[in-house]
């Protein structure tokens, strides 16, 4: 029986059109397996679904660089990059994955260059590289220039290049479609595809896919102060939770030290890489005392906590725009950088400071505070991007389900990500996921493009019926009064609750306070939300309601995992458990909705956990 709602069958559906999703599409199309299929006269069918027009994906706002031991400026070695990544992640890194990341990084950057990324250059034409926190030569001996960059707009370059290549390969895009459901079989062993809502036409689609790749990006919108764009509502992670899957290490959220005060907008680490210095209210360059040797370019969690210590000790400054407000900022002093060089190397940073703070960084001190930036945890995947369920002893791969980029956790970032490593992660492991899917399709060429298993089709059919009922109920209940609750208010309240509860520092009390609010009133409000218009088409409140529900779902998991980790490691600082505890806590948390996290051992290959001195 062919289920009645299925419009299309795909060999692969990719949810997300940032660096990870587009790399997966290209990894698929450029693979030997896809070529062999085409040679055999079979045209593989791949669809990329994105809730945004692809070029609006957050990847486009990445500023500072992508890490690779190209050794274009200084001696470098992938083994040093590997070591830095493991150490930077506070040893919660799976070393087999991190090794792959570091070893394949130069090839990944060179492939980007060959695809058309316009990197900044040295005078003799090589790819220029700059310093980034935590990247060192000779196993921590001294800092090294490892981040390849394109002024301070590397993400824009990468996103546009990957998208152009996808257009070249004829990849199908469904732009401004919102994926509402990930559909698995009952035993969570096989993926059937996704349900997606076309926001233009106002209709749902059940998309049957022999392979689904989730590449939906991060979840910075969990917090009030964030560098992330408004779309980063953790959809893919919440879809996984809703489908019954787990998230790995989801308690680890990176706060970037230099968010522009009261906007959270990122001022790239490159602003310190190029010579910017953090100062407290007394004008003291305080990082030297917190991280001797690395100072302002210490790992991000270290710098964020140092800022918090300074402001807690009364040495913070207020945003000059709100002089009577909280003194929860410090100064970023870029006045020591040659103004001409600053404009050439950091145009985006300069523009952001001028436009959003009305300050001139060549002369003025700039108020900054830690801003939620990156989710180290996510949907657990193998190094080929396969999503798995941890049962307490083994990884059980979900057939036909993959994930890549910030929504996933291949565990290369552990408890804290180094700058430049996430574009690398998204491009490299996105490509690998695409290649793995192509191989899977190639192994069974007869089935390429043909209908999936009827049982999976029925699961999809049921999910579509349920989603249509949800939409009908939402629209039928459309509340025309402007005073009623709305999704944006729920998201704002949630982000403030999370910020108070677990941003930068937390303890059992602050976590519990957040849990009371999230699990209780916020979850209830998210359930009751109704749009204010009953229009089916271009009704942005509909998607905002799903986003709010996703954020609440994800916040519950973040709080449960944070509560269960009784130590401080990387980005997670519990003031009631201030030390790292390798004896009992050197393991990954695996959190499913409504359940206590299971524990998975960290893959240690050849780097024993040691001290983390910066
Ligand atoms: C301001 C900023 C600066 C950064 N600078 C750097 C840097 O210099 N170096 C570095 O390495 N990293 C940097 N990062 C991190 C890095 O940019 C991201 O981790 C990376 O780009 C994530 O890529 P992605 O493909 O996983 O997700 P994204 O680029 O966020 O793409 C997510 C995609 O998923 C789609 N999507 C989401 N939910 C749904 C849904 N429900 N239905 C359909 N589609 C959906 C969206 O439309 C989008 O296309 C920075 C991040 C920020 C925020």
Paired with 388 in beta bridges are: 397
Q: What is the mean pLDDT of the segment spanning 525-546?
A: 96
Residues 353 and 466 placed together within one structural domain of the fold = no
pTM beyond 0.75: the answer is yes
Mean pLDDT for 255-272 is 93
2 pLDDT above the threshold of 60: no
Which atom in ligand 1 lies closest to the alpha carbon of residue 159? 29
Q: Which of 53, 85, 155, 163 to mutate to test the pocket of ligand 1 (most atoms within 8 A of CB)?
A: 155
CA-nearest residue for atom 4, ligand 1, is: 62
pLDDT the model gives residue 447: 62
Confidence band for 610, pLDDT divided at 50, 70 and 90: confident
Is 21 touching ligand 1 by the criterion CB < 6 Å?
yes
pLDDT category of residue 612 using cuts at 50, 70 and 90: low
- Please state, in angstroms and rounded to a whole number, the distance separating the CA atoms of residues 550 and 468: 18
- On whether residue 409 sits in a domain, the answer given is no
- Cα-to-centroid distance, 236 and ligand 1 (Å): 12
Residue 362 lies in a domain: yes
Flag whether pLDDT at 1 surpasses 50.
no
CB of 403 within 6 A of ligand 1: the answer is: no
pLDDT in tens, 553-589: 999 999 999 999 999 999 999 999 999 999 999 999 9
Tell me, what's the pLDDT at 446?
A: 60
Which ligand 1 atom sits closest to the C-alpha of 420?
Answer: 11
Q: Range of 274's domain?
A: 258-371
The residue-averaged pLDDT of 248-266 equals: 95
Distance 217 CA to ligand 1 centre (A): 5
513: CATH: 1.20.58.100
Q: Which residue has the higher pLDDT, 383 or 325?
A: 383
State the Cα–Cα distance between residues 83 and 78, nearest whole angstrom. Answer: 9
The length of the chain in residues reads 614
C-beta 58 within 6 A of ligand 1: yes
pLDDT reading at 322 higher than 50? yes
284 torsion bin: left (phi>0), alpha (psi -120 to 50), beta (else): beta
- 471 with 580, same domain: the answer is yes
103 belongs to a structural domain:
no
Determine the atom of ligand 1 nearest the C-alpha atom of 405: 26
Boundary-marking domain end, from 371, 386, 404: 371
pLDDT of 262 reads 84
Confidence label for 484 from pLDDT (cuts 50, 70 and 90): confident
Confidence of residue 114 (pLDDT cuts 50, 70, 90): very high
Residue 314 within a domain: yes
Query: CB within 8 A of 406, min separation 6: which ones?
Result: 18, 20, 217, 218, 374, 375, 378, 422, 425, 426
Q: How far is the CA of 405 from the centre of ligand 1 (A)?
A: 8
Q: Determine the pLDDT at residue 444.
A: 78
583 CA → ligand 1 middle, Å: 35
Evaluate if residue 4 carries a pLDDT over 60: no
Per-residue pLDDT band at 315 (split at 50, 70, 90): very high
pLDDT at 614: 56
Q: Is the pLDDT of residue 3 over 80?
A: no
Q: Do residues 367 and 461 both lie within one domain? A: no
Q: Is the CB of 562 under 6 A from ligand 1?
A: no
Stretch (H or E) spanning 137: strand 129-137
- What's residue 300's pLDDT? 87
User: Which whole-number Å values give the CA distances from 455 to 14, 25, 451, in the listed order?
Assistant: 22, 27, 11
In the predicted structure, residue 186 carries a pLDDT above the cut 90? no
CA of 483 to the centre of ligand 1 (A): 33
Does the C-beta of 133 come closer than 6 Å to ligand 1?
A: no
> Exactly one of 131, 153, 272, 300 is catalytic; which is it?
300
- Do 463 and 360 sit in the same domain of this protein? no
Higher pLDDT, residue 481 or 81: 81
Kindly tell me if the per-residue pLDDT of 326 is higher than 50.
yes
- Residue 515 near ligand 1, beta carbon < 6 Å: no
* Predicted confidence (pLDDT) at residue 592 exceeds the cutoff of 90: yes
The average pLDDT across 598-613 equals: 90
CATH of the domain at 338: 3.90.700.10
Please tell me if the CB atom of residue 266 comes closer than 6 angstroms to any atom of ligand 1: yes
440 is catalytic: no
pLDDT over 90 (residue 431): yes
Which of 33-47, 220-234, 387-401 bottoms out in mean pLDDT, i.e. has the lowest?
33-47
In 261-365, the DSSP E strands lie at: 277-279, 330-333
283 occurs within a structural domain: yes
How sure is the predictor about 183, in pLDDT bands with cuts at 50, 70 and 90? very high
Q: Are residues 270 and 364 in the same domain?
A: yes
Q: Are 13 and 181 in contact (CB under 8 A)?
A: no
Does any ligand 1 atom lie closer than 6 A to the CB of residue 65? Answer: yes
**Boundary residue ending a domain (328, 355, 371):** 371
For 65-73, what is the mean pLDDT?
Answer: 97
**Ligand 1 contacts CB of residue 426 (under 6 A):** yes
Residue 20 Cβ inside 6 Å of ligand 1? The answer reads yes
DSSP 3-state of 48: strand
CA of 228 to the centre of ligand 1 (A): 8
> Distance from the CA of 175 to the center of ligand 1, in angstroms?
16
Picking from 371, 406, 428, the residue at the C-terminal end of a domain is 371
Res. 42: pLDDT tops 70 = yes
- Is there a contact between 199 and 180 (Cβ–Cβ < 8 Å)? no
- What was the pLDDT predicted at 5? 55
Q: Is residue 224 part of a domain?
A: no
In contact, 28 and 66? CB cutoff 8 Å: no
Q: What is the mean pLDDT of residues 435-444?
A: 93
Asked if the model's pLDDT at residue 448 lies above 60, the reply is no
Count structural domains, the chain.
2
Nearest protein Cα to ligand 1, atom 27? 217
Kindly give the number of the ligand 1 atom that is closest to the alpha carbon of 220: 53
Q: State the average pLDDT over residues 455-461.
A: 89
Any bridge partners for residue 366, and if so which? Answer: 332
Cα angle for residues 414, 58, 405 (degrees, 5° grid): 35
Evaluate whether residue 578 is within a structural domain.
Answer: yes
| Confidence tier at 255 by pLDDT (50, 70, 90) | very high
Q: How far is CA 263 from each of CA 352, 357, 527, 606, rounded to the nearest angstrom? A: 10, 9, 29, 42
Q: Are residue 583 and residue 460 in the same domain, yes or no?
A: yes
In a domain, 465, yes or no: yes
> Do 349 and 469 fall into the same domain?
no
Q: Which residues share a beta bridge with 260?
A: 368
């Amino acid at each position: 029986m062919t289920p009645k709602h299925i419009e299309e069958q795909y060999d692969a559906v990719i949810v997300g059109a940032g660096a990870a999703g587009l790399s997966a599409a290209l990894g698929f199309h450029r693979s030997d397996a896809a070529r062999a299929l085409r040679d055999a006269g079979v045209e593989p069918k791949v669809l990329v679904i994105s809730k945004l027009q692809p070029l609006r994906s957050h990847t486009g706002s990445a500023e500072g660089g992508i890490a690779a031991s190209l050794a274009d400026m200084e001696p470098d070695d992938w083994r040093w990059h590997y070591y830095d990544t493991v150490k930077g992640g506070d040893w919660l890194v799976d070393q087999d994955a991190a090794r792959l990341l570091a070893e394949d990084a130069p090839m990944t950057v060179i492939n980007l260059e060959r695809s058309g990324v316009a990197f900044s250059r040295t005078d003799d034409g090589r790819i220029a590289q700059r310093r980034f926190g935590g990247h060192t030569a000779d196993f921590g001996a001294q800092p090294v220039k490892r981040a390849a960059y394109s002024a301070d707009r590397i993400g824009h370059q990468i996103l546009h290049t990957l998208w152009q290549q996808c257009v070249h390969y004829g990849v199908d895009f469904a732009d401004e479609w919102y994926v509402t459901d990930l559909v698995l079989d009952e035993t969570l062993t096989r993926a059937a595809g996704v349900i997606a809502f076309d926001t233009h036409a106002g209709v749902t689609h059940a998309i049957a896919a022999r392979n689904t790749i989730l590449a939906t990006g991060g979840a910075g919108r969990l917090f009030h102060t964030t560098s992330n764009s408004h779309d980063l509502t953790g959809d893919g992670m919440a879809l996984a939770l809703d489908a019954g899957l787990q998230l790995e290490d989801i308690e680890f959220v990176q706060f970037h030290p230099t968010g522009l005060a009261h906007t959270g907008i990122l001022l790239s680490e490159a602003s310190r890489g190029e010579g910017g210095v953090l100062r407290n209210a007394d004008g003291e360059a305080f990082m030297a005392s917190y991280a001797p040797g690395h100072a302002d370019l210490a790992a991000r969690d270290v710098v964020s906590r140092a800022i918090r210590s300074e402001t807690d000790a009364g040495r913070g400054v207020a945003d000059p725009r709100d002089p009577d407000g909280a003194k929860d900022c410090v100064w970023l002093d870029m006045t020591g950088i040659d103004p001409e060089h600053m404009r050439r190397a950091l145009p985006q940073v300069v523009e952001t400071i001028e436009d959003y703070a009305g300050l001139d960084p060549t002369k003025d001190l700039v108020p900054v505070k830690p801003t939620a930036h990156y989710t180290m945890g996510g949907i657990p995947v193998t190094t080929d991007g396969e999503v798995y369920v941890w049962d307490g002893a083994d990884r059980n791969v979900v057939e036909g389900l993959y994930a890549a980029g910030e929504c996933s956790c291949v565990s290369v970032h552990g408890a804290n990500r180094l700058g430049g490593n996430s574009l690398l992660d998204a491009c490299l492991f996105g490509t690998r996921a695409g290649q793995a899917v192509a191989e899977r399709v190639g192994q069974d060429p007869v089935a390429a493009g043909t209908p999936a298993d009827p049982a999976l089709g029925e699961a999809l059919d049921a999910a579509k019926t349920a989603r249509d009922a949800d939409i009908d109920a939402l629209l039928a209940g459309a509340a025309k009064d402007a005073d009623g609750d709305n999704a944006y208010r729920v998201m704002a309240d949630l982000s403030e609750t999370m910020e108070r509860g677990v941003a930068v520092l937390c303890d059992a009390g602050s976590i519990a306070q957040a849990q009371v609010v999230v699990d209780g009133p916020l979850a209830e409000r998210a359930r009751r939300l109704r749009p204010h218009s009953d229009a089916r088409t271009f009704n942005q409140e509909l998607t905002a309601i799903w986003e709010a529900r996703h954020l609440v779902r994800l916040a519950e998991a973040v709080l449960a995992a944070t509560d269960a980790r009784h130590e401080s490691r990387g980005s997670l600082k519990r003031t009631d458990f201030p030390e790292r505890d390798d004896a009992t806590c050197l393991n990954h948390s695996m959190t499913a909705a409504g359940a206590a996290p299971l524990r998975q051992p960290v893959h240690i290959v050849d780097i024993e956990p040691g001290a983390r001195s910066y």
